[in-house]
Amino acid sequence: MTIDWHWASIPELAAAFRDGRSSPTAHLSHLLGRIDALEPSLHAFVALDSDGAAGAADASAARFAAGQPLGPLDGIPIAIKDVIDVAGFPTTCHSALRLDHVAARDADVVARLRAAGAIILGKLSTHEFAIGGPAFDLPFPPARNPWNTAYHPGGSSSGAGAGVAAGFFSAAIGTDTAGSARNPASASGGVGLKPTYERLSRDGVFPLAPTLDHVGILTRGVEDAAILFDVLTGDTHAADLGSGASGLRIGMVRHFHEEDMPADAETAAALDRVAVSLAAQGAEVIDMRLPPLEAFATVNRVLLQSEGYAIHGADMRTRPERFSALTRKALLPGAFLSAKDMILATWHRGRLTEAVDAAFADVDVLLTASSMEPACAIDDPAEIARTYMLQARTPFNVTGHPALAMMAGLSTGGLPLSLQSAPRRDDERTLLRVAAAWEAAMGGPQHPPL
């Protein structure tokens, strides 16, 4: 049987490296050929480090030949969103303002991956400074959706979502301030994990809004996300993925997608199927109410715009033409927000966080929509602006709880539909367990027809 190695999971690759069916060097060569063929239509990369990756793959192959791999990520190609430092490469943030800002050292998460033997394949497309949208007036083109290249792949970790879904690499590291790792997972059909706030170090990550920023993980499947999270944190979550949903209490936050911000019919039906599937596996699924979705969105917007303008205000005032039009539009409102606005947003943030914490007195996991609709056309600015607001991801940036977005099925148009789940703070173990239960019911990770 022919194996499509670009879809292989991290454990499958590790087993193949150990028993000689493949090697880190051979696998990298396969992926570089795939990238060469598909990247011109997807634009996932800002910079591809073929030579550095080849050296790392050879070193990994030697460790496997000696029977001394460093761990589950040894020889596994991983790519990095270009707001995260990789030594020797510019951290451009996809912006003309930072083309010459070469990183002197690796960000903490990148250093941890290298220490585990992972192969750093390159830097990935993003929305400029992780905000704005898919802009066409920047030094690099925007990434596109592997399910249909006329569509948006989600953002701002757009190259991460596109590259994972296209089979360019096993995993990617992105960031998530208002859903920026979970949105690409929703639009492009992978798994996007936003851990608990500050669970992963942001050292070496260019900030957007520091009180909301998270480092995020993007993979094709749940097990791969768990393995990556374990390596980065030193925990052991992957071992619990087979426990299933039986005995868990799941609170479905229907009002997010039925009342607050109505989802399209296919998304709503997909969420119902997920709830029915988890109940059939032995979970208790109950309806749960939280504060209105708009309350979370407003707090997130005030904090993000205020903090974002504090970081970019000087450049916005002195050389605004260097930003894309979309970035200027996204950042400029922060110039008009006051200290009172920040104080009120911070106060409301506390009340919203208390409300979400209180919900976990009755349930183990919250089940919500992620995106309310599938991806839209990438060259339709009005639709991009409209659909970016149609999501339920921002609550968990406001509160800092972990959250995971993944596929819930496919639309009749052949684009991914999505769901989101969130547990108690620091309970990524239960979050990954529930995600694995749904993934198993779905038949495993789904791939675009590439």
Q: What is the pLDDT of residues 428-446, one digit of tens each?
A: 999 999 999 999 999 999 9
Two tokens at 283? 């979970």
Averaged pLDDT, 81-96: 98
Q: Where are the domains of the chain?
A: 8-241, 243-442
Which residue, 256, 251, 225, is CA-closest to 435? 225
| pLDDT tens, position by position, 39-56 | 999 999 999 999 999 999
The catalytically annotated residue of 22, 156, 158, 370 is: 156
| pLDDT tens, position by position, 381-420 | 999 999 999 999 999 999 999 999 999 999 999 999 999 9
Active site residue 194: no
Q: How confident is the model at residue 1 (pLDDT cuts 50, 70, 90)?
A: low
The catalytically annotated residue of 60, 81, 158, 324 is: 81
Mean pLDDT (the chain, rounded): 97
Q: Which CATH architecture has domain 8-241?
A: Alpha-Beta Complex (3.90)
Question: Is 243-442 the same fold as 8-241?
Answer: yes
Active site residue 156: yes
Q: Report whether pLDDT(236) > 90.
A: no
The catalytically annotated residue of 60, 180, 186, 418 is: 180
Per CATH, which fold does 243-442 belong to? Amidase signature (AS) enzymes (3.90.1300)
What does each C-alpha distance from 385 to 133, 327, 410 come to in angstroms? Answer: 8, 12, 22
| pLDDT tens, position by position, 108-155 | 999 999 999 999 999 999 999 999 899 999 999 999 999 999 999 999
